[in-house]
Amino acid sequence: MTPDKQQEVLDFAKFLHHQTTPKHPLKSVKGLCADLAVDITEKDITQARKEIWGNFPRQIV
């Protein structure tokens, strides 16, 4: 491969890297919700599970 072709491949690889790299660092879900001051306890989770799954499985008549 000629040096010109090698440089062309290198330039294209740099272009692709620039196009696929996020412009801003991504935040985690925990980071996105940090300012909401939500405090979910194990008790809250248990209660929600009971409400959602309380009638499962039910008899279909």
List pLDDT tens digits, range 40-53: 899 999 999 999 88
If phi > 0 it is left, if psi is from -120 to 50 it is alpha, else beta; for residue 37 that is: left
Query: Domain segments of the chain: what residues?
Result: 3-53
User: Which of 19, 36, 14 has its CA nearest to residue 27?
Assistant: 36
Residue 2's pLDDT band, with cuts at 50, 70 and 90, is very high
Distance CA 25, CA 35 (A): 18
pTM: 0.37
CA atoms within 13 A on the CB side of 3: 0
The more confident residue out of 1 and 13 is: 13
Residue 32's pLDDT band, with cuts at 50, 70 and 90, is confident
Residue 20's pLDDT band, with cuts at 50, 70 and 90, is confident
